[in-house]
Amino acid sequence: MANTPKVFIDGEVGTTGLQIRERLIGRTDLQLISIDPDKRKDPAARAEMLNAADAVILCLPDDAAKEAVGLIENPLVKVIDASSAHRTHADWTYGFAELDKEQRKKIAGSKRISNPGCYATAAVSLTRPLVSAGLLSADLPVSFNGVSGYSGGGKAMIAEFEDEASPNYTKVAYRIYGLSLTHKHVPEIQKHGGLLTRPIFTPAVGRYAQGMLVELPLHLGLLEGSCSLGDIHAALAAHYKGEAFVEVASLDEAKSLATLDPEGLNGTNRIKLFVFGSDTSGQARLVALLDNLGKGASGAAVQNLNLSLGLDEKAGL
């Protein structure tokens, strides 16, 4: 174990941290180290762990994540931040390996990696290939609609839906939120999705634990050239060809479906993209399906960890 890289999860008792730990525990290609539970809030003890690790995964609120980074003095420590603190920061590498042909190499060579947000992973996966292919103008106003399981809101929201003793317990089946259109994922979606115009994002939460659907509706007549559903599908398929964790459903499969289950990829690090719509009506409905705690959080963090340490990218996934 002497030469096995040491990994420390700062915030391992949170929703994302627990799932990352489950994916890492028992692996022989790395060594998972943990802080004494009584010292989790002790800055000196945390600093010691943060600087002793080869790689650190931060599963903390934004301010706490920034504080943790400030405690790291060892220049060799690699950091994967699962918070939203650094997702648009110029000095941090965006941890969506499938973003473009160079992103995987950038992640592997970086010491500061920002793990993407769950909604942003889906939105960026739909827009970036279309902008890169010249089908979607970067300045075209677009909107995204998303629904996630309540685990996306962390322990507080989980308690709202599961703990009948909670003062905020609710039996609501579905609710919208982010009504001010200032959701924290929007800057990230805009930057990494290749968009020049701030997109509208309308999120919602359903009464189920995890899994999500994110939609991008498009008028084909507003896209570049005589764009068809086939052109959109071809651009997505070409962009993600050979990827292990991103799948583009065939047009035939999409046509055969009457609905999609947001829980369909739970427990995986996969994301599946669909192109629905009609050339006759001139409208498209692009949909991304993923686990908000998988490819949308803990799975992506493990994938980025593997890349940063030069391990098998699929290990633990």
**pLDDT per residue as tens digits for the range 90-128:** 999 999 999 999 999 999 999 999 999 999 999 999 999
- Cα–Cα dist 65/62, whole Å: 5
* CA-CA-CA-CA dihedral for 233, 239, 241, 245, to nearest 10: -100
If you average pLDDT over residues 278-298, what whole number do you get? 97
Question: How confident is the model over 253-274, as pLDDT tens digits?
Answer: 999 999 999 999 999 999 999 9
pLDDT score, position 3: 83
Q: Distance between CA atoms of 300 and 306, rounded to whole angstroms?
A: 10
- Say whether 118 is catalytic: yes
pLDDT tens, position by position, 174-197:
999 999 999 999 999 999 999 999
pLDDT confidence of 73, banded at 50, 70, 90? very high
Rounded Cα distance between 170 and 162, Å, is 8
- In this prediction, residues 286-303 reach a mean pLDDT of 98
Least confident residue range of 16-20, 36-40, 77-81, 184-188: 36-40
Mean per-residue pLDDT of the chain: 95
Same CATH fold assignment for domains 6-115+297-309 and 118-290: no
Select which of 49, 56, 65, 118 is catalytic.
118
Q: Which pLDDT value is given to residue 191?
A: 98
| Class of the CATH domain delimited by 6-115+297-309 | alpha beta
Instruction: Using the predicted structure, report yes or no on whether residue 1 has a pLDDT greater than 70.
Output: no
How many angstroms from the chain centroid is the CA of residue 101?
Answer: 18
User: What is d(CA 303, CA 316) in angstroms, rounded to the nearest whole number?
Assistant: 8
Could you tell me whether strands 246-248 and 174-176 are parallel, antiparallel, or unpaired per DSSP bridges? unpaired
Question: Hey, is 297 helix, strand or coil?
Answer: helix
- Residue type at 270 in one-letter notation: R
> In angstroms, rounded to a whole number, what is the distance separating the alpha carbons of residues 212 and 238?
24
In percent, the amount of the chain with pLDDT more than 90 equals 92
pLDDT score of 2:
57
Helices 43-52 and 62-71: angle between axes, nearest 10 degrees:
70
CATH topology of domain 118-290: Dihydrodipicolinate Reductase; domain 2 (3.30.360)
**Dihedral of the alpha carbons of 115, 121, 124, 126, in degrees to the nearest 10:** 150
- Angular region, 264: left φ>0, alpha ψ -120 to 50, beta rest: alpha
**Domain ranges, ordered by start, for the chain:** 6-115+297-309, 118-290
Placement of tokens 């700062």 in the chain = 10
